[in-house]
Amino acid sequence: MIPAAFDYVRPATLDEALDVLARHGDDAKVLAGGHSLIPAMKLRLAQPKVIVDIGRIGGLRSISEQDGKIAIGALATHYDVESSDLLGRSCPLLPEVAARIGDVQVRNKGTIGGSCVHADPAADWPAAMLALDAEFELAGPRGGRIVAAKDFFVDMLTSAVEPGEILKTLRVPVTAKSVAYVRFTQKASGFAIAGVAVVLDTSRKVAAVAVTGVAPKPYRAAAVESLLHGSELSAATIAAAAQKAVDGVDPLSDIHASAEFRAHLACVHAKRALELAASRK
C-alpha cells in the first residue's frame, strides 16, 4: 500500500528537530531507521502529516565509554552495535543481541534507539536493556531527563518518550562476559516469541533475567532472580529457578503461539540462557 500524503523535514541539529516537533505536535512523527514507522505508514496504521527525519543529525551514532558506563547514540545501527570492539570487550550482551536481529539490510539501517522507542513486545533490545539496567537520556522542550529501563517500557508499543521528546543516548554498564541471550523466533518475521537475556555477577551471586516476546511488554523475571540470589549456580538451582520465568505474568496468545506455549518457551529459554551465561567466564 501507499502511505497517506505527508511533509518531509530533515533537520540538521537536535535542537532544530525538537523545534519542528514542538511546532507540529501530534501531527509529526520522528523517523530514525524507519523499520517500524514506514511499514505502519504503508498499512495506514500511522498517518503523520509531517515526518521528521533525524537520521543525519551528528553526534547521535557514537559509541564511547563515559564515567564507567558505555554511551550509545540512539542512531547507532544494529550493525554498529554488533561490530563495536568496545562493546565486544565491555558489554558483550549487546553485540550478541544485535547479531540476531533481522538480516544484513535491517542491521545496517535499523537503529537501537528507534527499536527501543517503538517498544514492540517481541523486539530483542528491550530484554537486553532491562537485564543491563540501562538508562535512556531524552531531549525535549523542557530540557533533558533520564529514564531507567524499568520505567521506559510502559506497555505494548508504548515507551516513556513523551510527545515532543527525542531519545538521545542509551547508557549501559560495563559487564563481565557472563551474559547470554537465547530466543525462539517467529520464522517469517524473525521477532521473538520468547527471548531471555541474562547478566550474571558471579562474584556477588546476583542474576538479572529479562524476558521479551511473552507479555505485552518486556519484564524482569523477579521470581527467577530471587531464587538465584546468593545461590551457587548449580544445574538443579538453575532448573528450579527457570520454572519461575512467567510467575506473575499473563502471557500473550495469538496466531503464532498460545499463552501456554509462550510460558513453556520462556521457562526453557530461561534455563538455556542461564546455563550459557554461567559457562562464560
Q: Rounded CA gap, 74 and 62, in Å? A: 9
User: Which CATH number applies to 7-53?
Assistant: 3.30.43.10
Largest distance between two CA atoms of the chain: 59
- How far from the centroid of its chain's Cα atoms is residue 270's Cα? 18
Q: Which three cell numbers stand for residue 133?
A: 539496567
> What is residue 70's three-state secondary structure?
strand
63-173: in CATH 3.40.50.740: no
pLDDT tens track of the chain, all 281 residues?
799 999 999 999 999 999 999 999 999 999 999 989 999 999 999 999 999 999 999 999 999 999 889 999 999 999 999 999 999 999 999 999 999 999 999 999 999 999 999 999 999 999 999 999 999 999 999 999 999 999 999 999 999 999 999 999 999 999 999 999 999 999 999 999 999 999 999 888 999 999 999 999 999 999 999 999 999 999 999 999 999 999 999 999 999 999 999 999 999 999 999 999 999 98
The residues near 276 (Cβ < 8 Å, ≥ 6 apart) are: 180, 182, 198
Helix (H) or strand (E) segment spanning residue 237: helix 235-242
Q: Rounded CA gap, 170 and 80, in Å? A: 14
- What is the CATH topology of the domain spanning 179-279? Enolase-like; domain 1 (3.30.390)
Helix (H) or strand (E) segment spanning residue 137: strand 135-140
The residues near 48 (Cβ < 8 Å, ≥ 6 apart) are: 6, 27, 28, 29, 41
Domain ranges for the chain, please list them. Answer: 7-53, 63-173, 179-279
> What is residue 66's three-state secondary structure?
strand
Q: Which three cell numbers stand for residue 45?
A: 496504521
Rounded-to-10 torsion of CA 6, 7, 8, 14:
-110
Q: Rounded CA gap, 220 and 135, in Å? A: 15
Instruction: State the pLDDT at residue 47.
Output: 96
Q: What is the pTM of this model?
A: 0.97
Closest CA to 280 of 202, 178, 158: 178
Q: Is 69 left (phi over 0), alpha (psi -120 to 50) or beta?
A: beta
Instruction: State the pLDDT at residue 254.
Output: 96
